[in-house]
């Protein structure tokens, strides 16, 4: 009889070790190194189970409860992982480059911002402290209007510029909030240590880059990519890219 009990006990211990290994594998599957918050959350959920509390007080954990506890731990891992991953995705959500570039080609809904009284190279409008540049004296591009939109829970402010000798117009959009929406594709051009991405969207050149952690998008029909790059990367007078 004692041999049977010992055999049953060894089987239960083996099942428990297998269950623990599965939980560990699930944690590793979430990431190469699962966040400590995930580990703590799983441990807390497992520890709060009545079976775990009985075991902590010295009671035996029955073979019937071991699979239940293992399943609960696995569910905790999966649920916590989904919450962490989707939560991270939500934090990085924002308008795509395509959506932001469409705003640069849209109509203005507000009047033209003026040159800042405090900073000659900037306009009197900014997004999260990131001011729009004043280009009229240096490049001949004067402001003609602006608009503010909300996309993906992010505020996007766009300022429009045009030249007196041309009907061409460009839009400069700054996406509020951090982290900045991810960008990819196009040709990467480095200027003063800052990577600028130049691409074509719908036959229109678009330049994207970051200023103080905010995504900037510059685009316009009938304007060359070289012109957009020159404007985007201008840093004279404190309008550092």
Whether residues 123 and 225 fall in one domain? yes
| Of the residues 44, 61, 91, the one at which a domain ends | 91
pLDDT on residue 1:
55
Q: What pLDDT is attached to residue 237?
A: 45
* Residues pairing with 175 in the sheet: 156, 215
Q: Rounded to whole angstroms, how far apart are CA atoms 132 and 159? A: 8
| Low-confidence residues of the chain: pLDDT under 70 | 1-93, 236-241
Burial (Cβ within 10 Å: 0-12, 13-18, ≥19) of residue 5: exposed
Please tell me whether residues 102 and 79 are part of one structural domain.
no
Same domain, 57 and 165: no
Q: What is the predicted pLDDT for the residue at 219?
A: 98
List the CATH number of the domain containing 224.
3.30.200.100
- What range does the domain containing 206 cover? 97-238
Say if residue 28 is in the same domain as residue 82.
yes
Judgement on whether residues 113 and 203 belong to the same structural domain of the protein: yes
Domain total in the chain? 2
Q: Are 5 and 56 in contact (CB under 8 A)?
A: no
62 and 117 in a common domain: no
What is the pLDDT, as a whole number, of residue 27?
Answer: 43
Please tell me whether residues 160 and 222 are part of one structural domain.
yes
Same domain as 200, residue 110? yes
The predicted-structure confidence for 93-131, as pLDDT tens digits, reads as follows: 678 999 999 999 999 999 999 999 998 899 999 999 999
Same domain, 108 and 86: no
How confident is the model at residue 22, as a pLDDT?
57
Report which secondary-structure segment, H or E, holds 138: helix 136-139
Which residues sit opposite 189 in a β-bridge? Answer: 196
pTM (predicted TM-score): 0.62
């Amino acid at each position: 009889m004692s041999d049977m009990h010992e055999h049953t006990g060894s089987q239960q211990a083996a099942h428990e070790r297998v269950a623990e290994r599965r939980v560990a594998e699930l944690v590793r599957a979430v990431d190469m190194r699962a966040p400590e918050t995930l580990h703590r959350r799983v441990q807390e959920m497992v520890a709060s189970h009545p079976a775990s509390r009985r075991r902590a007080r010295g009671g035996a954990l029955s073979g019937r409860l071991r699979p239940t506890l293992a399943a609960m731990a696995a569910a905790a891992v999966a649920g916590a992982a989904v919450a962490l991953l989707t939560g991270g995705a939500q934090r990085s959500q924002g308008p795509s480059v395509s959506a932001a570039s469409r705003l640069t080609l849209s109509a203005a809904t507000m009047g033209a911002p003026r040159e800042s009284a405090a900073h000659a190279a900037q306009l009197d409008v900014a997004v999260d402290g990131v001011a729009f540049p004043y280009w009229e004296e240096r490049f001949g591009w004067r402001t003609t209007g602006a608009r503010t939109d909300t996309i993906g829970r992010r505020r996007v402010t766009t300022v429009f510029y045009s030249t007196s000798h041309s009907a061409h117009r460009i839009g400069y959009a700054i996406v509020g909030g951090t982290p900045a929406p991810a960008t990819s594709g196009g040709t990467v051009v480095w200027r003063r240590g800052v990577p600028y991405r130049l691409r074509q969207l719908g036959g229109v050149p678009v330049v994207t880059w970051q200023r103080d952690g905010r995504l900037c998008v510059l685009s316009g029909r009938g304007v060359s990519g070289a012109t957009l790059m020159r404007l985007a990367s201008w840093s004279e007078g404190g309008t550092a890219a």
